[in-house]
Amino acid sequence: MSSLNFPFEFRSDEKENKKLRKYFIGTTWTQELVWLLVNDLDYVKAAAEPLTSRYTFIEFPMFMNKDSVSELKSVSKHNEEWKKLIDYFSKPGSEVIAEKPSPRFIKTHVPMSLLPPHLLDIAKVVYVARDPRDVAVSFFHHNRLFKMTHFVGDFKTYWHFFVRNMVLWTPFFDHLKEAWDLRNHPNLLFLFYEDLSKDLPRIVRLVADFLGKEYNDEQIADLCSHLHFENFKNNPSVNMDELKELDLYRPNFIRKGKAGGWREYFDDEMTQEAERWIMDNLKDTDLRFPSAQ
- Check residue 238 and give its pLDDT: 79
Domains of the chain in sequence order: 8-132+171-259 (3.40.50.300)
List, for the chain, all residue ranges whose pLDDT scores fall below the cut of 50.
1-26, 251, 253-255, 293
* 252-277 per-position pLDDT tens digit: 544 455 678 899 999 999 999 999 99
How many whole angstroms separate alpha carbon 244 and alpha carbon 247?
5
- Check residue 259 and give its pLDDT: 72
The model's pTM: 0.80
- Check residue 169 and give its pLDDT: 87
Among 230, 283, 293, smallest CA distance to 257 is for 230
- Check residue 254 and give its pLDDT: 43
Q: What share of the chain is helix, strand, coil (3-state, %, to 5)?
A: 50, 10, 40
Helix (H/G/I), strand (E/B), else coil: 55: strand
Among 219, 115, 132, smallest CA distance to 170 is for 132
Half-sphere exposure of residue 221: CA atoms within 13 angstroms, side-chain side = 3
- Check residue 116 and give its pLDDT: 85
How many whole angstroms separate alpha carbon 156 and alpha carbon 211?
40
- Check residue 241 and give its pLDDT: 60
- Check residue 12 and give its pLDDT: 38
Residue 263, H or E segment: none
